[in-house]
Structure 1
Amino acid sequence: MAKNTFPPIKTGTSLLTKVVGLLTLIAILTLVVKHPTDAATWLSQAGHFVGTVIDGIASFLQHALG
């Protein structure tokens, strides 16, 4: 028989990863329920930040390539 040259693929996730993900989800839901206005403001600011980053990358590429 031929020897398997590929290492085994780990398919499961650890318990710690699941717990951290669950706690993060609970914290976000609690924030949205208790402080919806603040959560909306933070989300809007995050969207604006991402848009600014994308515009900056596009501007850089335009100047670098064109």
Structure 2
Amino acid sequence: MAKSQIPGFKTGGGALRKVLGACVALALLALIVHYPADAASWAKGAAGTAGGAIDGLVTFFRNLGN
């Protein structure tokens, strides 16, 4: 029996995709190891941006219901 697939979502991936993913993961690890303070500030900034976006969406949907 075949695996169930989500429409529009490709499962698996080719070798090139896996190699690129591994390279990105290694680059992020190297940044964290070599520049931990900068990596922490980037993570805080990303979390703040994501939190702001979520707050904005919540405010939008609350106002949409009024």
TM-score w.r.t. length of structure 2: 0.81
User: What is aligned with 1:22?
Assistant: 22
Q: 1:40 to 1:61 in 2, by over 3 A?
A: same
Please list the CA deviations of residues 16-61 of structure 1 after superposition, one character each: whole Å capped at 9, or x if unmatched: 1101100000000000000000000000000000000000000000
Number of residue pairs matched?
59
User: What is aligned with 1:55?
Assistant: 55
Q: Which runs of 5+ in 2 are unaligned?
A: none
- The structure having more radius of gyration, on CA atoms, is 1
Q: Which runs of 5+ in 1 are unaligned?
A: 1-8
TM-score w.r.t. length of structure 1: 0.81
Q: Distance in 1 between matches of 2:13 and 2:63?
A: 43
Percent identity over the alignment?
Answer: 38
Q: Is 12-21 or 36-45 further displaced after alignment?
A: 12-21
